[in-house]
Amino acid sequence: MDFVAEEALRTGADLHLVHVPQLAPGLSGPFDVDWEAARAFGHHVLARASADAHELVGGRVTITHELVAESRGTVTDIVARSEGARMVALQHRRLTGIGRAVGTSTTQGVASRSHAPVVSVPASWQPENRHHRVVVAVHDPAGADHTLRTAFTLAGQRQDRLRVLHACLPCDGHGDEGVRREAVREDRFRNALAAQVQALRAEFSDVRVEIEVRHEPIGSALLRGAEHGDLLVLGRRHPRLPLAAHLGPVSRLALETSTIPVMFVETVAPVPVPGQRVETTTSPGQTRR
């Protein structure tokens, strides 16, 4: 809730809380009775979330809430409500067993199909641990225009620095030869990125930019490169894949391992929709948005 409240205050967007009722596993009573119990629990969750949100924003933005009356599935319900939203925020918990499978499936499903950018906020994340840095991971500059622009925009809104992170496996070769090959590859990446960064720097003149190339596997590079960041920005999938395709492997890895909020954005700029808001949902057991 801290994350979405701050975003709403920073951007002036409305905050909409959504809860999708879910039946607890293993229930054996009449469906109507169990469903009413799930709805009653949902009202309780929304009341607490709404109270927390009002306390955090202090009347400076509009807060609304919704208990989904007829669910078509958690992912479908959330995706339908993401249209017109500025972003959708979900709490991600490190669960085990069936809970982990369901929670991860929900987050991945929403992140891959949402009409708006999706932020996964680890349950362990604390807003007090600030580094004043947004980190954006870029694999191929040729398909990163919208991802980079989003990261620059976020860094500008937050008055944060921006780190552009690129990872590649160490080159074959020993000693000086391996170092030389890595230097050549790093120069190639920086040169390919230069025109985009220069144009965005001119537009976002207040954003301080640093480019970091790490010669290590992408998983460890994301973790280590984002250690001193407050938000990690990733493209949802390869730009040539169709909309609603599954998240790419790097995005799934970041979702599972990142200790800071991760924002998944389209690599291609979406068609703008008027009247945007921040969408945040609470679902028992795994997600809060």
DSSP string covering 204-222: STT--EEEEEEES-HHHHH
For 10-55, what is each residue's pLDDT tens digit?
Answer: 999 999 999 999 887 766 678 888 888 999 999 999 999 999 999 9
Q: Is the dihedral of CA 254, 107, 46, 38 positive or negative?
A: negative
- Average pLDDT on 149-176 reads 86
Q: Homologous superfamily of 133-229 in CATH?
A: HUPs (3.40.50.620)
For 96-118, what is each residue's pLDDT tens digit?
Answer: 544 444 445 788 899 988 999 99
Q: What is the pLDDT of residue 169?
A: 73
Q: Does residue 287 surpass a pLDDT of 70?
A: no
Is there a contact between 57 and 90 (Cβ–Cβ < 8 Å)? no
Q: What is the pLDDT of residue 101?
A: 45
Give me 121's structure tokens: 């906020």
2-124+277-288 and 133-229 have identical folds: yes
Q: What is the pLDDT of residue 247?
A: 79
Q: What is the pLDDT of residue 182?
A: 76
Angle at 78 between CA 75 and CA 82, to 5 degrees: 130
User: What's the full length of the chain, in residues?
Assistant: 289
CA 207, distance to chain mean position in Å, is 21
> Could you tell me whether strands 262-265 and 118-122 are parallel, antiparallel, or unpaired per DSSP bridges?
antiparallel
For 2-124+277-288, CATH number out of 3.40.50.620, 3.40.50.720, 3.40.50.2300, 3.30.830.10 equals 3.40.50.620
Sequence-ordered list of residues with C-beta below 8 angstroms from that of 208, at least 6 positions apart, any chain:
161, 162
Cα–Cα distance between 207 and 163 in angstroms, integer?
10
For 226-251, what is each residue's pLDDT tens digit?
Answer: 888 999 999 886 545 555 556 778 88
Give me 90's structure tokens: 């979900």
Cα–Cα distance between 282 and 151 in angstroms, integer?
26
Is there a contact between 210 and 112 (Cβ–Cβ < 8 Å)? no
Domain boundaries, the chain: 2-124+277-288, 133-229
pTM, 2 dp: 0.83
Cα–Cα distance between 179 and 171 in angstroms, integer?
8
